[in-house]
Amino acid sequence: MSKQNIYDDSDFFENFRRSREQPVNFNDCVETPILFQMLPDLTGRSVLDIGCGMGQHAKQYSDMGAGYVMGIDISEKMLAYAKEHNSADNIVYRRLAMEDIETIGRSFDLVTSSLVFDYVEDFAGLMRKIHNLMKDDAKFVFSMSHPIVTAWDGVYDRYTRTETGERLYANLRNYCVEGKRKVDWVVNGYECYHRTVSSLINALIGAGFTIEECREARISDDMRKQYPALFGGTVHRPEFIFFRCGKTQGK
C-alpha cells in the first residue's frame, strides 16, 4: 500500500509553508474555524492529531486545555517545523504514517485530522484503525477535501468562466469513478484519492461510528467579495467536508 509523503518534496513544502504564513488563506479562514466549532471540550483530554503537519492545531489543543496531545505525521520537514514553532510540555510529535496508527499503543478521548485523509488509499481500513484507538466516549472530528473538489482530474479547468475570467460554475468530471487522481498542482503528478460522499459515510458507519454532525465549508459574502481571486469559487462549491463522530453503542 502506497504512503504518500508529498510534503517532504522541497518545492511543495516551501509553497505550503508560504501559503500558511499568509494572513488570508483557505486553512485559517475557511477550514480551521469550522473544524474547531465541532470540537468537544478539551479540558484534561488526550488528543491524537493525525497528519499534524506544522503543529498549529496540536499547539492550539494544548492551549485549549488538553492534558496530552500526540501529533503524528509522515513528513520530516513538517515535524521539524512543528517541534521548533509549536511545541509544549504536553505535546509529543512522532513520525508515523497514518496507515500505521495501530502501533501507537494507547487510546484517546479525541481523534482529529485536518485535510489529510485525501491521501489514504484504504479509507475504510483507516477508519477501523481510528475506531480501535478511541475510548468508549471519545469523539472523532475531521475534515477532508469535498468530493466535489476531488472529482476534478486536471484535464479541464476547475471552472467554466466568462471571457473576462469570472467563474460561472464549477466543473465536475467522473464523480462516480473513485480512486487515485493525479493532477499538476504545485508539483507535477500531485496525487489524491477521490471518493463519493456516500462512500465516506458508509465507511464511517461500517467502522462502528455514529455520525453526529456533518458540515460543508462556507465563507461569508464579505470575504468572498474582499478576496475574489482566492475565494471567488466558494459560492459554486464547498471546498471541504467535515464530520464529528462518536462510537456506536455496542460496537
Counted domains in the chain: 1
For the beta carbon of residue 236, count every other beta carbon within 10 angstroms: 15
Give the pLDDT band (50/70/90) at residue 156. Answer: confident
Say if 70 falls within a structural domain: yes
CATH number of the domain bearing residue 223:
3.40.50.150
pTM comes to 0.90
> Nine-digit cell at 30?
475557511
Say if 126 falls within a structural domain: yes
Say if 79 falls within a structural domain: yes
Tens of pLDDT along 171-228?
Answer: 888 899 999 988 665 556 678 899 999 999 999 999 999 999 999 998 888 888 888 8
Region class of 165: left (phi > 0), else alpha (psi between -120 and 50), else beta = left
Say if 19 falls within a structural domain: yes
Domain boundaries, position 12: 6-145+196-247
Q: What is the pLDDT of residue 228?
A: 85
| Contact assessment for residue 190 and residue 214, using Cβ atoms and an 8 Å cutoff | no
| Contact assessment for residue 48 and residue 70, using Cβ atoms and an 8 Å cutoff | yes
Say if 184 falls within a structural domain: no
| Contact assessment for residue 144 and residue 216, using Cβ atoms and an 8 Å cutoff | no
| Contact assessment for residue 103 and residue 133, using Cβ atoms and an 8 Å cutoff | no
> Nine-digit cell at 77?
520537514
| Distance of alpha carbon 54 from alpha carbon 197, whole angstroms | 28
State how far the alpha carbon of 130 is from the alpha carbons of 19, 60, 68, in Å.
29, 21, 17
Say if 228 falls within a structural domain: yes
Tens of pLDDT along 56-106?
Answer: 999 999 999 999 999 999 999 989 999 999 999 999 999 999 999 999 999
Mapped to the 3 state alphabet, what secondary structure does the chain carry?
CCCCCHHHCHHHHHHHHHHHHCCCCHHHHHHHHHHHHCCCCCCCCEEEEECCCCCHHHHHHHHCCCCEEEEEECCHHHHHHHHHHCCCCCEEEEECCHHHHHHCCCCEEEEEEECCHHHCCCHHHHHHHHHHCEEEEEEEEEEEECHHHHCCCCCCCCEEECCCCCEEEECCCCCCCCEEEEEEECEEEEEEEECCHHHHHHHHHHHCEEEEEEEECCCCHHHHHHCHHHHHHHHCCCCEEEEEEEECCCC
For the beta carbon of residue 74, count every other beta carbon within 10 angstroms: 21
| Contact assessment for residue 79 and residue 60, using Cβ atoms and an 8 Å cutoff | no
Task: Please state whether beta strands 179-185 and 91-95 pair in parallel, antiparallel, or not at all (unpaired).
Answer: unpaired
Tens of pLDDT along 215-251?
Answer: 999 888 888 888 887 788 888 889 999 999 999 876 6
Task: Pick 121 or 190 by higher pLDDT.
Answer: 121
Say if 164 falls within a structural domain: no
Cα within 13 Å of Cα(223), Cβ side:
15
Residue 141, φ and ψ in degrees, nearest 5: -125, 125
Say if 209 falls within a structural domain: yes
